[in-house]
Structure 1
Amino acid sequence: MPEAVAVDPVCVAGVDGCKAGWVAVFRWVGSNRASEVQIFPHFADLLASEHEPRKIAVDMPIGLPQRIGSNGRGPEKAVRPLLGMRQSTVFSIPARAAIYCEDYREACSAALAHSTPPKKVSKQAFHIFPKIREIDQLMTPELETRVYEVHPEVAFWRLNGQEPIAIPKKVKGSSYPAGLDARRDLLVQFGFVANFLDQKPPKGAARDDLMDAAVNAVIAERLLNGDAEPFPTDFGRDERGLRMAIWA
């Protein structure tokens, strides 16, 4: 009989933005190796990680149109109907010109000038602009074989039998334990150990950041296995050729 060929385990990563930069949860497919969590000050540091993740699923918009129409950016429009009461977690993303403004009023002016009908920028979206810029400056069509845009609540929808988790994970800007516990219990069904998810997060990250990175890691594994789907299925590309789709 032919000798069995050993298959090396493959690393995938789920990533979420946090105060300290980026929190990544690593999973090894085809191995019993325990999941790991790590903070990276810059997204480029994650790309160069010694773990060499084959697929990286990150909760951050990738692919920025020059102009926003009445329905908004394609991925946000495609996933909002899936989430019911959780659809407010999907921020409206403006055109690239607004993303590159560091002043809120300037960002609103740029957004108004590059949208039909004219639309300003929400404060919540503006606060993540630096991280959107960070990824946008690194992304190329070639890098798309590793790096994919995801959204945690869409990921939980996928794992929860295509039903949104009704309980929020934040209430009035603060973590909501019941909502986080519900998400933890679901993630345990997908190979995570409860103690890993209940650990004190690394400095500069919160418990909801860790939970989001963990669910994104499950989607990264789905991407590796060819099981993830893009929203919208007929996704477009921006003027730099970058794919505009949320995967789950």
Structure 2
Amino acid sequence: MVAGRRELLLEVAADLIARHGFAKTAVADVAEAAGIAKGSVYREFASKDELLAALLRTRSLRLIERVCEAVEADPDGSRLSAVYRHGLRALLDDPLLCALYTRDSRVLGALVRGHGPGSPHPDWAGEIVLALRDAGLIRSDLPTDAVAHVLGVITTGMITIGGTAGTGPAPAVEGTFRVLTELIAGGLEPVAPADPGSGRRAVRALADRFGARIAGSDQPEREQPPGRHTAGPAVDRAPTTCRRP
């Protein structure tokens, strides 16, 4: 295995799939864009499906790490509005994860065809909301399933209207984030502020939990259905825990 080749292929594939769609992106296209022989791609990935599974897994782990680090660095990181804002920003910056979230078959093809929009793991959304509510970031009188649904609707809407960074005037995008932050703070956060450390601890715990699930076990990914965030070689695994202060 050539050092750095796998990461290069994942980055090249991400760009091609986001622009042309998975169905129209051939292994030969990835090889050509990376400047390597087609056979070298198959030395890293047994199939195009395996390449996509590794790509989505790597991008998901990267998103978790980014959100976790942003929450740690934010003075308001123990508030739901801040946690959601950082999560939404990270998601909107990744076209492939946006396509996975909205089940965009034009980008991901058969992997998501036949499924409606929404979180790829709807039960995870409820689990996240419950953990954040238990940490004091969400009003205790609100049902967790309703909160998860509302946040999911907002997320889907932001992706659908093309709210990704750089697609419109910066003031408009920033203004939207500011209003969303205020709406979430006023409608979902408790009146009494949460313990400053509780939110960060909750996010750290969630990052560890979901990072481990996405990274999977040591079972070879080719034995798993493609695109299921299955196990893979250790090289695909990224740090998924927040850096402790």
User: In which range does the TM-score fall when normalised by the shorter chain?
Assistant: under 0.3
Q: Give the structure-2-normalised TM-score.
A: 0.28
Q: Give the structure-1-normalised TM-score.
A: 0.27
